[in-house]
């Protein structure tokens, strides 16, 4: 009578997956001029889901030319209210196909279905809805008397952690402002971007307004270096971000970069402890820690350090790791073998440098890429696990004694994407938040997003903002 084992509760919707995908260029599916295809897999069991076209430099050129043509001929000339209708149409289609898209996202990326169902897909639709509403009100985003003009052709490169959502963050404002787009999804997670291309096709956007090129880093580089792209928007690693910036230095191209992070998550002794623990869990284990704004550096006031560790250790045991398609799964699969290796390597360095590892006790599935929810205590500011982005379900716990020490330690990183603060005292929340060098500061919550709220980084976390009116201005000519 005293056992409540949760029986498997798999999501049963079957998404349509084609055997082979071409490139989406000029409103149509075309074979790649590279003549190459590559496999895309399900990281939860390593099975091949589909073959995807590889876009080489010639394909990039073709896509950029089609985007240019669409820009000159249709999209920038269209009445803004008409543009809005198309963007609304995309938003509605995402909503209508939300279940299928959620399953697809989970299969291709490894994230738990509850997250793709309750976060990724609804938030993607919300971004299209939000920016559709802006399309005919763009002058309100400008200083008085200035005309709202689009930039031109935007090359957009998105990461594998939130494949559809990141595409939505980039495409929605670009379209609303009258730009055309060449989107390059991540190498490991092309399927929802290709589903979005299908939606764009069904929504009957003028051909070439949105182009989707699948490929790898070289595809992205060709897009960045193409002489006829007017803007590059990139979300991904700091390393690649720096390379992009070097590549377009001296050109007139506009650039926004949303890069890595090593967010400080500060817990004061007067915090609501149980909710702080929930915030910590949400901050680092959401999407297996594949979140650029993850609260990966926990700064705990010394007086409550032990209590937090005990509570967190207990809470870890209730996390359910396993089949990402099971509705009760909290921790899904790591996105790729390469990422899993990187996580393991950094965890190894943490142990070697003297930190103490605590992990959830669970058996990992035999196939697929999994890493248990973990945290380190006894981490020092100088440790690699306190400085480098792990991008996995691994938290580093450090301590502080006073608010000013917390602020100093929090800011002592080359990154500056996000931060979190837990205290019951409003004035302390404001004092600390004001002093955080981070683009987003969450107070008594973590990882909350809304299309109307700008998101972006400081320093090595990049520049430019996505979301809100700030995100809109990134797609309007100065």
Partner 1 sequence: MGSGAVPLCRAPKVERVARPASFKIQRARWTGPQSWFFYGHSKCGEAEPAGALMPATVDAVMLEARAGALAKRSIKTTSKIAGIRLAVACIDLTTLEGKDSEGRVRSLCAKAIRPAQHLPDIPSVAAVCVYPSLVAVAKDALRGSSVLVASVATAFPSGLSSPAVRLDDVRAAIAAGADEIDMVIDRGAFLSGRDRSVYDEIVAVKRICGELHLKVILETGELGSYDAIRRASDLALEAGADFIKTSTGKVGTNATFPVAVVMCEAIRDYARRTGRAVGLKVAGGVRTTKQALTYLVIVNETLGEAWLTPERLRIGASSLLDDLLMQYEKQLTGNYAGPDYFPKD
Question: d(Cα 193, Cα 203) in Å, to the nearest integer?
Answer: 15
For position 405 contacting partner 1 by CB under 8 A, the verdict is no
For position 216 contacting partner 1 by CB under 8 A, the verdict is no
Residue from the set 273, 357, 362, 469 that interacts with partner 1 by CB under 8 A: 273
For position 304 contacting partner 1 by CB under 8 A, the verdict is yes
In terms of CB distance, is 275 or 381 closer to partner 1?
275
The SS3 assignment for 23 reads strand
What's the closest the beta carbon of residue 126 comes to partner 1, in angstroms?
17
Residue from the set 100, 269, 388, 405 that interacts with partner 1 by CB under 8 A: 269
What's the closest the beta carbon of residue 279 comes to partner 1, in angstroms?
6
What's the closest the beta carbon of residue 358 comes to partner 1, in angstroms?
15
For position 361 contacting partner 1 by CB under 8 A, the verdict is no
Residue from the set 318, 361, 363, 427 that interacts with partner 1 by CB under 8 A: 318
Which residues are annotated as catalytic? 258, 292
H-state helical runs in 6-56: none
For position 16 contacting partner 1 by CB under 8 A, the verdict is no
Cβ atoms of 224 and 249 within 8 Å: the answer is no
The SS3 assignment for 337 reads helix
Q: Which stretch binds partner 1 (CB under 8 A): 43-51, 73-81, 297-305, 379-387?
A: 297-305
Q: Strands 153-157 and 28-30: what pairing?
A: unpaired
- Segment (H or E) for 375: strand 374-377
For position 83 contacting partner 1 by CB under 8 A, the verdict is no
For position 427 contacting partner 1 by CB under 8 A, the verdict is no
For position 402 contacting partner 1 by CB under 8 A, the verdict is no
For position 218 contacting partner 1 by CB under 8 A, the verdict is no
Question: d(Cα 89, Cα 332) in Å, to the nearest integer?
Answer: 32
Cα angle at 10 between 50 and 332, to 5 degrees? Answer: 70
Q: Which stretch binds partner 1 (CB under 8 A): 6-14, 184-192, 331-339, 368-376?
A: 6-14
Question: d(Cα 85, Cα 88) in Å, to the nearest integer?
Answer: 5
In terms of CB distance, is 97 or 114 closer to partner 1?
114
- HEC-encoded secondary structure of 271-324: CCHHHHHHHHHHHHHHHHHCCCCCCCEEEEEHHHHHHHHHHHHHHHHCCCECCC
H-state helical runs in 71-159: 80-96, 98-109, 113-115, 121-134
The residues, any chain, with a CB within 8 Å of residue 275's CB and separated by 6 or more, are 422, 444
In terms of CB distance, is 61 or 278 closer to partner 1?
278
Interface mask (CB under 8 A) for partner 1, residues 86-125, using x and -? Answer: ----------------------------x---x-------
In terms of CB distance, is 161 or 282 closer to partner 1?
282
Torsion over CA: 138, 144, 145, 149 (sign): negative
**Residues within the interface to partner 1 (CB under 8 A):** 1-9, 114, 118, 269-276, 278-279, 282, 301, 303-304, 306-307, 310-311, 318, 327-328, 424, 444-445
């Amino acid at each position: 009578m005293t056992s409540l084992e949760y029986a498997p509760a798999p999501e049963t919707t079957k998404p349509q997956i084609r055997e082979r995908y071409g490139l989406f260029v000029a409103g149509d599916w075309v074979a790649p001029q590279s003549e190459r295809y590559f496999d895309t897999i399900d990281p939860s069991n390593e099975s091949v889901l589909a073959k995807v076209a590889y876009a080489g430099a010639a394909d990039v050129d073709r896509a950029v030319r089609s985007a240019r043509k669409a820009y000159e001929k249709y999209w920038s000339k269209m009445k803004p209210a008409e543009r809005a209708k198309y963007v609304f149409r995309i938003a509605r289609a995402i909503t209508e196909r939300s279940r299928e898209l959620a399953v697809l996202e989970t299969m291709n990326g490894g994230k738990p279905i509850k997250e793709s169902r309750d976060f990724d897909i609804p938030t993607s639709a919300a971004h299209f809805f939000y920016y559709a509403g802006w399309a005919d009100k763009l002058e309100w985003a400008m200083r008085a008397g200035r005309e709202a003009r689009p930039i031109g052709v935007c090359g957009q490169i998105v990461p594998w952690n939130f494949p559809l959502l990141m595409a939505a963050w980039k495409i929605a404002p670009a379209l609303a402002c009258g730009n055309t787009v060449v989107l390059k999804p991540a190498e490991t997670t092309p399927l929802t971007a290709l589903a979005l291309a299908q939606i764009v096709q069904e929504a009957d956007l003028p051909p070439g307004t949105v182009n989707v090129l699948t490929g790898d880093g070289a595809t992205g580089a060709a897009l960045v270096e193409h002489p006829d792209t007017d803007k590059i928007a990139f979300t991904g690693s700091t390393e690649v971000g720096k390379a992009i910036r070097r590549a377009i230095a001296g050109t007139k191209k506009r650039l926004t970069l949303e890069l890595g992070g090593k967010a400080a998550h500060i817990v004061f002794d007067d915090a609501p402890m149980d909710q702080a623990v929930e915030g910590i869990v949400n901050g680092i284990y959401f999407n297996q820690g594949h979140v650029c704004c993850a609260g990966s550096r926990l700064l705990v006031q010394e007086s409550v350090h032990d209590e937090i560790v005990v509570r967190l250790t207990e809470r870890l045991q209730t996390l359910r790791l396993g089949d990402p398609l099971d509705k009760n799964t909290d921790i899904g699969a790591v996105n790729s073998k390469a990422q899993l290796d990187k996580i393991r390597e950094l965890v190894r360095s943490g142990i070697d440098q003297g930190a103490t590892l605590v992990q959830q006790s669970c058996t990992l599935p035999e196939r697929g890429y999994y890493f248990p929810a973990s945290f380190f205590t006894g981490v020092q500011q100088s440790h690699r696990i306190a400085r480098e982005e792990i991008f996995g379900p691994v938290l580093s716990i450090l301590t502080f004694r006073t608010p000013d020490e917390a602020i100093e330690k929090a800011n002592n990183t080359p990154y500056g994407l996000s931060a979190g603060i837990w205290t019951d005292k409003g004035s302390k929340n404001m004092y600390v938040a004001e002093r955080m060098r981070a683009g987003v500061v969450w107070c008594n919550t973590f990882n909350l997003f809304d299309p109307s709220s700008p998101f972006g980084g400081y320093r090595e976390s990049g520049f430019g903002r996505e979301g809100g009116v700030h995100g809109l201005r990134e797609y309007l000519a100065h």
